[in-house]
C-alpha cells in the first residue's frame, strides 16, 4: 500500500520526509521518491526517486542539494505498471508535482483525452494522469481551482499531495477513500497516510474525511469540502506510541488486516464491475479475451490459504460459468504428469506471487502449453510476470503471517472472473447483474460482522481451553471450514480439523465427545437442512457446537451452544462473510492463549523454498 508524506513549515523538508517514509516502510512498497521546492530558486522543484528501499532514496538524496521547507514524498506499492524509477512517485507535469495513493478508475479514458491535447507521459501509472489534468486546468485557472476542476473528473480512490512550482509556498492535500492524516505542528504541517510518520513531530492531528481538501501554507491551513466550503475540524490528540501508530491503534497487524477487509474488497472491485450490463471487466485479462472464450477446463494451483480460495472458486466457476474446474496443491501438481491441452487454463493464486511451489507448477503448466493466468496481490512479483495474463488483488501489503484480507480479496477476484467467463458463455444478463449487485454489498456486510468482535472475543475466551477443534462446512463453505481450521492451527498451535460436514458419519464422528467442540458453518443455503442434521448428530454425542449462520435462523438457538450471525447474501458469496468470524475467532483464541499472532512460530510470510 502506498505511503504519502507531505511537509510545509520552517524545517528542512527533506529530513522530515525521509524520516516519515522510513516510518511508513511497514506498509510495504517497492520504490520511493521525494520532491522538494528549492528554497533558493523557489520556482524549481527537485525530484529524486529510487527503486527498492527508502535507504537507497536517502543515499541518492544526499548527493543532491535538496534545500527547502516544502515537499512531498511517497513509497509506492505498484498497481499500474511495474516497480521502476519512471513509475515511482512523485509525478510531474509542467509546474505540477504530486504523490498519489489509491486507484484512478478512469485514468485510461482521461489519459487518451490528454494525449490528444499533446500531453506526454513518462510512466505507466494512473497517478501521472492526475498531474497532467491539474496542469491542463492550470492553463485557465488558479492552482486551487485547477485542483477542484480535476477532482470533478476523477473516479476512484485517492489521497493526493500536490505542489506547484508557480506557487511554491502552498501544499494542497486531498482525501477520497484513501487514508490521509494532517499533523498540526508549531508553524509546520505534515500530511501522511497514517500517524506513524507524524507522531515524532506532533501529537495534534486531524483525520481527514472523504471529500476533504486541505490548503496549507507555512502560516496556516484551511480544510474545505469538495464544493469549496470551509469546514471547521477539531484537532485531536494522539495517544499512541510509534508502534501503535503503525498498527493504527490495533493490537496486532492481523486484527488491523481483518478490519481492513471491506476496504480491500472495495479496492479489488473498483472499476471492474459494470453492474448495469451485468459484466465484469478485468483489464489484466483483456489481452487473452479470445483464448478465455475457448477454455474448456480450468486448473487452479496454489498453497495454503490461497488454495482454500481456489476451492471456493471451483464451486463458483462450475456452477455459474459452467467450466469444469479442479483445484490442486501446487506442491503436488508440479510432480504429477499434468494432462493439459490448449483449451486448459491454469490459474495460479498467490498473495506474495513468490511461492516456490506455485511458481514451479505454473512454469510446468506453461511448458505443457496451457494458458497460464495469475491472481496475485504483489505487483511485479515473479508469478505475476511469469503468467500469460492476470489480475491483481489490490489488497495492499499483508504484514501478518496469517492471510486474512488477501483471502477475501482473492474470493472477490474469483467472483469477477466467474462473471466474466460466465457472461462469455451461458450466464444471463440478469444473473450477472444480480451477482455483481450483491457483491457490491459485501464490504458493508463485513462491517456488520466486524461489529460482533467483542462477542467473538468472549467466545474465544470461553473455548480457549480446548486443544482440539473441528471445523465443518458443506459446498461453498467446505473450503471455509478448511480455512478456519488453518487459521487456528497457525495462530494458536492447536490441533484443528477442517472437514466436509457430510463426511463426518464416514469416520470422524467417532472422535466427537464433550472435549471436542465443533465450529459449524451453516448459513441458510441449499445444503442448510443437511448441515443441521450433522449438528444434531454431534449434539447427540455431547459435542459442543458453535454455529455460524444467517441472521434470523431462530431454530438453531435450541440446538447450538453458541451462535454467530452473518447477514444474508447469495449462496456463492457466503464464504466472503462466513470466513470473517472464523478469522476473528482464531485471532482472539491465539491472543487468549498468550501467543504472538502476527509472527507464529515456524512460519514465514512468503514461502520461497520448496
Window of 337-345, 348-356, 413-421, 514-522 that interacts with ligand M6R by CB under 6 A = 348-356
**303 scored as a contact of ligand M6R (CB under 6 A):** yes
Show the cell assigned to 24: 511508513
179-198: contacts with ligand M6R (CB under 6 A): none
**382 scored as a contact of ligand M6R (CB under 6 A):** no
Question: What is the CB neighbour count within 10 angstroms for residue 214?
Answer: 23
Show the cell assigned to 497: 480439523
Q: Name the active-site residue from 2, 138, 170, 203.
A: 2
| Distance in Å, CB of 393 to ligand M6R, minimum | 10
**Nearest CB to ligand M6R, comparing residues 317 and 488:** 488
**355 scored as a contact of ligand M6R (CB under 6 A):** yes
**Nearest CB to ligand M6R, comparing residues 402 and 460:** 402
| Distance in Å, CB of 599 to ligand M6R, minimum | 12
**Nearest CB to ligand M6R, comparing residues 491 and 548:** 491
Residue 256 and residue 243: Cα distance in Å, rounded? 13
Q: Which of 89, 99, 96 is nearest to 143 (CA)?
A: 96
Residue 14 and residue 34: Cα distance in Å, rounded? 8
Residue 519 and residue 466: Cα distance in Å, rounded? 12
Residue 538 and residue 517: Cα distance in Å, rounded? 9
Out of 20, 68, 304, 374, the only residue in the binding site for ligand M6R (CB under 6 A) is 304
Out of 69, 403, 518, 550, the only residue in the binding site for ligand M6R (CB under 6 A) is 403
Confirm whether 224 is a catalytic residue: no
CA 349 to the chain's CA centroid: 15
**408 scored as a contact of ligand M6R (CB under 6 A):** no
**Nearest CB to ligand M6R, comparing residues 402 and 427:** 402
**595 scored as a contact of ligand M6R (CB under 6 A):** no
Q: At what angle do helices 478-492 and 304-316 cross, to 10 degrees?
A: 170
- Rounded to 5°, the CA angle 159-161-162 comes to 130
| Distance in Å, CB of 351 to ligand M6R, minimum | 3
**401 scored as a contact of ligand M6R (CB under 6 A):** yes
Residue 191 and residue 440: Cα distance in Å, rounded? 31
| Distance in Å, CB of 350 to ligand M6R, minimum | 3
CA distances from residue 292 to 218, 283, 289, 412 in whole angstroms, order as listed? 55, 13, 5, 19
**Nearest CB to ligand M6R, comparing residues 35 and 401:** 401
Confirm whether 44 is a catalytic residue: no
Sign of CA dihedral 451, 452, 454, 460: negative
**246 scored as a contact of ligand M6R (CB under 6 A):** no
**Nearest CB to ligand M6R, comparing residues 30 and 571:** 30
| Distance in Å, CB of 606 to ligand M6R, minimum | 6
Show the cell assigned to 286: 483483456
* Contact status, residue 410 vs residue 306, Cβ threshold 8 Å: yes
**300 scored as a contact of ligand M6R (CB under 6 A):** no
**176 scored as a contact of ligand M6R (CB under 6 A):** no
Give 551: exposed, middle or buried? Use CB within 10 Å, 0-12, 13-18, 19+.
exposed
**350 scored as a contact of ligand M6R (CB under 6 A):** yes
Sign of CA dihedral 280, 285, 289, 295: negative
For residue 202, list its beta bridge partners. none
Show the cell assigned to 402: 496469517
**492 scored as a contact of ligand M6R (CB under 6 A):** no
Window of 111-119, 352-360, 362-370, 467-475 that interacts with ligand M6R by CB under 6 A = 352-360
| Distance in Å, CB of 388 to ligand M6R, minimum | 18
**Nearest CB to ligand M6R, comparing residues 113 and 360:** 360
* Cα within 13 Å of Cα(162), Cβ side: 34
Out of 352, 382, 418, 550, the only residue in the binding site for ligand M6R (CB under 6 A) is 352
Window of 18-26, 301-309, 412-420, 572-580 that interacts with ligand M6R by CB under 6 A = 301-309
Window of 215-223, 299-307, 319-327, 440-448 that interacts with ligand M6R by CB under 6 A = 299-307
Residue 590 and residue 534: Cα distance in Å, rounded? 27
Q: At what angle do helices 429-450 and 261-269 cross, to 10 degrees?
A: 160
**360 scored as a contact of ligand M6R (CB under 6 A):** no
CA 512 to the chain's CA centroid: 38
* Cα within 13 Å of Cα(490), Cβ side: 21
Q: Name the active-site residue from 42, 141, 440, 605.
A: 605
Give all strands of the β-sheet with 212-217 in edge-to-edge order.
91-93, 96-104, 156-164, 171-176, 212-217, 220-224
**128 scored as a contact of ligand M6R (CB under 6 A):** no
Out of 48, 88, 157, 402, the only residue in the binding site for ligand M6R (CB under 6 A) is 402
> Pairing between strand 31-37 and 70-76?
antiparallel
Out of 31, 193, 358, 578, the only residue in the binding site for ligand M6R (CB under 6 A) is 358
Task: Give the position of cell 500530511.
Answer: 191
Out of 127, 306, 387, 412, the only residue in the binding site for ligand M6R (CB under 6 A) is 306
| Distance in Å, CB of 607 to ligand M6R, minimum | 5
Residue 601 has φ and ψ, to the nearest 5°, of -60, 150
| Distance in Å, CB of 382 to ligand M6R, minimum | 11
Out of 490, 525, 565, 598, the only residue in the binding site for ligand M6R (CB under 6 A) is 490
* Contact status, residue 94 vs residue 138, Cβ threshold 8 Å: yes
**305 scored as a contact of ligand M6R (CB under 6 A):** yes
| Distance in Å, CB of 325 to ligand M6R, minimum | 19
Give the active site residues. Answer: 2, 605
Q: List residues near ligand M6R by CB under 6 A.
A: 303-306, 350-352, 355, 358, 401-403, 490, 606-607
Amino acid at each position: 500500500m502506498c505511503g504519502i508524506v507531505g511537509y510545509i513549515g520552517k524545517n528542512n523538508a527533506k529530513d522530515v520526509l525521509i524520516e516519515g517514509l522510513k516510518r511508513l516502510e511497514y506498509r510495504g512498497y517497492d520504490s520511493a521518491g521525494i520532491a522538494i521546492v528549492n528554497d533558493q530558486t523557489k520556482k524549481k522543484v527537485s525530484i529524486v526517486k529510487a527503486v527498492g528501499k527508502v535507504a537507497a532514496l536517502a543515499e541518492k538524496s544526499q548527493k543532491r542539494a535538496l534545500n527547502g521547507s516544502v515537499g512531498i514524498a511517497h513509497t509506492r506499492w505498484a498497481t499500474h505498471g511495474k516497480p521502476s524509477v519512471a513509475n515511482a512517485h512523485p509525478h510531474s507535469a509542467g509546474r505540477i508535482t504530486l504523490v498519489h495513493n489509491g486507484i484512478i478508475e478512469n485514468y485510461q479514458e482521461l489519459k487518451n483525452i490528454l494525449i490528444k491535447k499533446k500531453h506526454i507521459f513518462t510512466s505507466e501509472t494512473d497517478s501521472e494522469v492526475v498531474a497532467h489534468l491539474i496542469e491542463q486546468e492550470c492553463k485557465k485557472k488558479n492552482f486551487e481551482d485547477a485542483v477542484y476542476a480535476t477532482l470533478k473528473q476523477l473516479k476512484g480512490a485517492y489521497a493526493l499531495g500536490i505542489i506547484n512550482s508557480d506557487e511554491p509556498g502552498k501544499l494542497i492535500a486531498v482525501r477520497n477513500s484513501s487514508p490521509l492524516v494532517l499533523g498540526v505542528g508549531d508553524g509546520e504541517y505534515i500530511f501522511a497516510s497514517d500517524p506513524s510518520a507524524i507522531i515524532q513531530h506532533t501529537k495534534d492531528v486531524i483525520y481527514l474525511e472523504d471529500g476533504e481538501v486541505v490548503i496549507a501554507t507555512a502560516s496556516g491551513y484551511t480544510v474545505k469540502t469538495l464544493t469549496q466550503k470551509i469546514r471547521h475540524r477539531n484537532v485531536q490528540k494522539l495517544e499512541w506510541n510509534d508502534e501503535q501508530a503503525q498498527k493504527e491503534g490495533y493490537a496486532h497487524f492481523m486484527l488491523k488486516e481483518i478490519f481492513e477487509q471491506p476496504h480491500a474488497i472495495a479496492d479489488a472491485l473498483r472499476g471492474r464491475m459494470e453492474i448495469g450490463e451485468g459484466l465484469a471487466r478485468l483489464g489484466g485479462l483483456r489481452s487473452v479475451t479470445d483464448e478465455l472464450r475457448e477454455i474448456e477446463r480450468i486448473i487452479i494451483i496454489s498453497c495454503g490459504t490461497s488454495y482454500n480460495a481456489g476451492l471456493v472458486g471451483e464451486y463458483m466457476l462450475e456452477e455459474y460459468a459452467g467450466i469444469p474446474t479442479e483445484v490442486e496443491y501446487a506442491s503436488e501438481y508440479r510432480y504429477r504428469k499434468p494432462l493439459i491441452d490448449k483449451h486448459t487454463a491454469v490459474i495460479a493464486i498467490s498473495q506474495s506471487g513468490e511461492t516456490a511451489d506455485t511458481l514451479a507448477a505454473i512454469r510446468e503448466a506453461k511448458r505443457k502449453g496451457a494458458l497460464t493466468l495469475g491472481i496475485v496481490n504483489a505487483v511485479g512479483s515473479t508469478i505475476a510476470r511469469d503468467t500469460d495474463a492476470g489480475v491483481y488483488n489490490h489488497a495492499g501489503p499483508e504484514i501478518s503471517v496469517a492471510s486474512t484480507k488477501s483471502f477475501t480479496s482473492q474470493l472477490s477476484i474469483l467472483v469477477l472472473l466467474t462473471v466474466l467467463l460466465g457472461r462469455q458463455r451461458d450466464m444471463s444478463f440478469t444473473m450477472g447483474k444480480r451477482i455483481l449487485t450483491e457483491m457490491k454489498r459485501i464490504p458493508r456486510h463485513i462491517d456488520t460482522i466486524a461489529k460482533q468482535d467483542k462477542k467473538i472475543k468472549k467466545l474465544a475466551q470461553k473455548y480457549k481451553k480446548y486443544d482440539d477443534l473441528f471445523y465443518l462446512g458443506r459446498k461453498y463453505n467446505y473450503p471455509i471450514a478448511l480455512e478456519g481450521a488453518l487459521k487456528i492451527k497457525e495462530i494458536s498451535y492447536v490441533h484443528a480439523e477442517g472437514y466436509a460436514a457430510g463426511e463426518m458419519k464416514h469416520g470422524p464422528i467417532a472422535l466427537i465427545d464433550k472435549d471436542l467442540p465443533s465450529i459449524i458453518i451453516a448459513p441458510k443455503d441449499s445444503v442448510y437442512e443437511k448441515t443441521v442434521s450433522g449438528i444434531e448428530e454431534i449434539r447427540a454425542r455431547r459435542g459442543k457446537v458453535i454455529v455460524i449462520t444467517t441472521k434470523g435462523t431462530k431454530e438453531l438457538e435450541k440446538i447450538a451452544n453458541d451462535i454467530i450471525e452473518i447477514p444474508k447474501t447469495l449462496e456463492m458469496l457466503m464464504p466472503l462473510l462466513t470466513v470473517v468470524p472464523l478469522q476473528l475467532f482464531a485471532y482472539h483464541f491465539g491472543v487468549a492463549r498468550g501467543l504472538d499472532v502476527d509472527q507464529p512460530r515456524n512460519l514465514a510470510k512468503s514461502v520461497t523454498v520448496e
